[in-house]
Amino acid sequence: MVRINDNYLKLKAGYLFPEIARRVNSFAQANPDAPIIKLGIGDVTEPLPEACRSAMIQAVEDMGDRDRFKGYGPEQGYGWLREKIAAHDFQGRGCDVDASEIFISDGSKCDNGNILDILGADNTIAVTDPVYPVYVDTNVMAGHTGEADDSGKYGGLVYLPMSAANDFVAPLPDRPVDLIYLCFPNNPTGAVASRETLQTWVDYARAHGSLILFDAAYESYITDPAIPHSIYEVEGARECAIEFRSFSKNAGFTGTRCALTVVPKSLRGTTSDGTLTDLWSLWNRRQSTKFNGVSYIIQRGAEAVYSEAGQDQIQTLIAFYLENARIIREKLQSVGITVYGGVNAPYVWVQTPGGLSSWDFFDQLLHTCHVVGTPGSGFGSAGEGYFRISAFNSRANVEEAMARITAKFA
């Protein structure tokens, strides 16, 4: 009889966000008039930039003209988009990244999971704690972990705690690891990595032959000019790092879907007999075989991000969400709540008041303020006692949510 992948049964009851949705729906059904404000999922709320919309309408019109119609595109993405990304996002910041090393995809979450396809089953894997759950869950599903313990930690993974106690700087692993997930600006804590911190990681990875999976989905929120946007701004990263980026959070593409992954041609891994093999060829083969490229229409929308108008419009969007983050930080601080992040990131990482557990604070905010956030413990046991508030919402909703919370905690 057909056998299933048993590893799926190791997954804990629910991916974090479905569990939040379940509690919110349950509350909303019992309290249909409660004006719930959602600052939970990191989903954008403001309209798509006009430059992107115009480009997509033009692209739809291309599809109606036989001479301009596009069938299957390159699985790696169109050259005109890859070239603009390479020039603007990487070469413009001094990074040695070629357009051929950029793979366009329909989402960073997808690529974060799919990248495991080309890696072996016996790598030792390090993740920060708290951590974006997809890094962990996709490794569980791929059979790279043991069972979860009572705290939700999976056997075999190396967890690197990040909390106020270490200024949200993850320590180097206490044993050699092969694969390291880093996300900066960090989801969920909103922490950033200095150039020195990133250099430490790159040096570690090169010394140990490790591969860093660097998630830079939030790089556009960096306001401090001293903070690198790309890991390739750091010496040696081309030898040890893959970088994931997205148009979701800078251009509001969460429902439009476009992202990219950088796989330098200089990256190497080993086969089980120790032969060095380049990772770019494996990823190129993976994408050619299991992916058919992103819609031409959507790629034209992403390209418009790099026009002058597009750049102006996304800067306005980012500034808008960062101002929301400032309001959240300052309002919470005004009633004595300790907060982190929210300066170079769209997430404010709140220390729960009164020593409440993360889920108790979640329930309290939902039931008394009708505000939804994300329990820190949902991101890992070191997130217990913290709570993530997202800056992605309208100004009016952010102000109203903060008014309710400050009224309660004043």
What residues are designated binding site for substrate? 15, 42, 109, 132, 187, 292, 388
The residue whose two tokens read 């050259």 is 79
The residue whose two tokens read 């990131």 is 345
Alpha-carbon gap, residue 384 to 18, rounded angstroms: 19
Picking from 348, 393, 381, the residue whose alpha carbon sits closest to that of residue 130 is: 381
Q: How far is the CB of 398 from a second copy (least distance, A)?
A: 14
Q: How far is the CB of 79 from a second copy (least distance, A)?
A: 15
Alpha-carbon gap, residue 203 to 210, rounded angstroms: 10
Q: How far is the CB of 297 from a second copy (least distance, A)?
A: 7
Q: How far is the CB of 66 from a second copy (least distance, A)?
A: 5
Q: How far is the CB of 171 from a second copy (least distance, A)?
A: 20
Could you tell me if 197 and 186 are in contact, meaning their C-beta atoms sit under 8 angstroms apart? no
- At residue 74, the 3 state secondary structure works out as coil
Picking from 167, 169, 159, 225, the residue whose alpha carbon sits closest to that of residue 201 is: 169
Q: Which two tokens stand for residue 73?
A: 């595109």
Q: Which is nearer to a second copy, 310 or 385 (CB)?
A: 310
Q: Which is nearer to a second copy, 19 or 233 (CB)?
A: 19
Enumerate the known binding-site residues for pyridoxal 5'-phosphate: 72, 108-109, 132, 187, 218, 246-248, 257, 292
Enumerate the known binding-site residues: 15, 42, 72, 108-109, 132, 187, 218, 246-248, 257, 292, 388
Q: Which residues of 53-69 are buried (b: 16+ CB within 10 A; e: fewer)?
A: ebbbeebeeeeeeeeee
Q: Which residues of 142-167 are buried (b: 16+ CB within 10 A; e: fewer)?
A: eebbeebeeebbbeebbbbbbbeeee
Q: How far is the CB of 278 from a second copy (least distance, A)?
A: 9
Alpha-carbon gap, residue 318 to 402, rounded angstroms: 20
Q: How far is the CB of 229 from a second copy (least distance, A)?
A: 23
102-105: strand order across its sheet: 102-105, 259-262, 241-246, 211-215, 179-183, 125-129, 158-161
Alpha-carbon gap, residue 135 to 322, rounded angstroms: 26
